[in-house]
Amino acid sequence: MPRVPFLVPVLALVLTTFGAASATAATLEVTADVVVVASDGQCSLREAIHNANADSQVDNADCPAGSGADTIVLASGGQYVISDADVDNDHNGLPVVTTEIVVEGNGATIERNSNFSCILDDNRTAAEFRLLEVGELGDLTLGDLTLRGGCADGSGPSNDGGAIRVHSGNLTLTRVLVEQNSALDKSGGLDTSGGLSSISIVDSTFRANHGGGGAGAIGHGGGTMTIDGSTISGNTSGGQGGGGIGNSDDTTSGGLAWAEARFLQNYLSCYEAVGDPYWLDKFVDHFDRMLATQQDRNGDGFLAWDTTRYRVGIVEVAEAQ
């Protein structure tokens, strides 16, 4: 007896099940240029993140309730200027991401108010805060977006990651520009920590960021990170970290890999660390030399902070185009 008629309803059941699962996610469209929480009929960026985190309506009815893995859609070319710190986490401008969220940037910009100063003196003021943080259960995807002007000052974790801090969470950046962010300690642009972090950076640019203690653009402190088709350019470090990237992952399962990335004109304050646009095909030999001595801290804007922690075998290098 043919079995095909029996398979048809099973297939239909599978398709129906997957269809129902995908329908649970919500799309939250954020009003152009609106950041603050207010019952004004406009869905703000903070309200959207609150709802997406909680899978409900938190502050008011301005934004739809979150539901599952939500998508937040920013207005095309919107300017989301943050003029005060988040009420629950005042070292951040926006609420900590604790669930799976996708942000469609559509060419928008998220920035700290450009009239605010950023004095990295271990004395954080109300106007000094990073832009974003991804918590331990968070999974944030950002696309087609600019992150600008974050300021991580103070003590402890608050002084790492001028634009974004990730602690044992997931972050994907696609076509994202991270520029002009600063941190007192390390990681002017992006800071990662915790062995569970998973970071993917694709077709993105980190430029003109500053890490006072190290890692001008990116500080990789745990988990895995891949960088593909991206540019790390014009970043500075005032300490021992790389002008571009500092890697201090101490886990055997973690590591840093990149392909077709360009590291250009990244500087340490006490050493010049200039990257060659076509450096990657020569980098392995120089990198081995860097690992042989901790005094060689300025190679091509990159630093392996601790020779006992960084494992060359995890790294995959491809020539830049």
Q: How far apart are CA 265 and CA 244, in angstroms?
A: 9
| Secondary structure of residue 17 in the 3-state scheme | helix
Note whether residue 111 is domain-resident: no
Torsions phi, psi for 53 (to 5 deg): -65, -40
| Secondary structure of residue 249 in the 3-state scheme | coil
How many structural domains is the chain composed of?
A: 1
Its domain, for residue 272, covers 116-314
Note whether residue 189 is domain-resident: yes
Residue 275 token pair: 């990257």
pLDDT of residue 224: 84
The number of C-alpha atoms within 13 Å of 91 and in the hemisphere containing its C-beta is: 20
Which CA distances in Å does 113 have to 133, 149, 258?
18, 8, 33
Note whether residue 110 is domain-resident: no
What does the chain come to in residues?
321
Which CA distances in Å does 178 have to 54, 67, 276?
27, 29, 21
Note whether residue 241 is domain-resident: yes
Q: How far apart are CA 291 and CA 46, in angstroms?
A: 44
Report strand pairing: 79-82 vs 100-112. Answer: parallel
Residue 239 token pair: 């300490």
| Secondary structure of residue 193 in the 3-state scheme | strand
Note whether residue 179 is domain-resident: yes
- Residue 170 DSSP one-character state: E
Instruction: Please state the pTM of the whole predicted model.
Output: 0.78
Note whether residue 142 is domain-resident: yes
Give the residue among 67, 72, 76, 119 at the shortest CA–CA distance from 94: 72
Note whether residue 82 is domain-resident: no
Q: What is the pLDDT along the chain (321 residues), one digit of tens a residue?
A: 444 443 333 333 333 333 444 447 899 999 999 999 999 999 999 999 999 999 999 999 999 999 999 999 999 999 999 999 999 999 999 999 999 999 999 999 999 999 999 999 999 999 999 999 999 989 999 999 999 999 999 887 778 899 999 999 999 999 999 999 999 988 899 999 887 888 999 999 999 999 888 778 888 887 888 888 888 888 888 766 566 777 665 444 456 655 555 555 565 443 333 333 333 222 322 333 333 222 333 333 444 333 222 222 223 333 222
What is the dihedral sign for C-alpha 60, 63, 69, 74?
Answer: negative
Give the residue among 216, 160, 222, 172 at the shortest CA–CA distance from 195: 222
Note whether residue 168 is domain-resident: yes
State the residue for tokens 């500075």.
236
Q: CA dihedral defined by 228, 191, 120, 310, rounded to 10 degrees?
A: -90
Q: How far apart are CA 308 and CA 248, in angstroms?
A: 10
- Residue 186 DSSP one-character state: B
3-state secondary structure 90-157: CCECCCCECCEEEEEEEEEEEEECCCCCCCCCCCCCCCCCECEEECCCCEEEEEEEEEECCEECCCHH
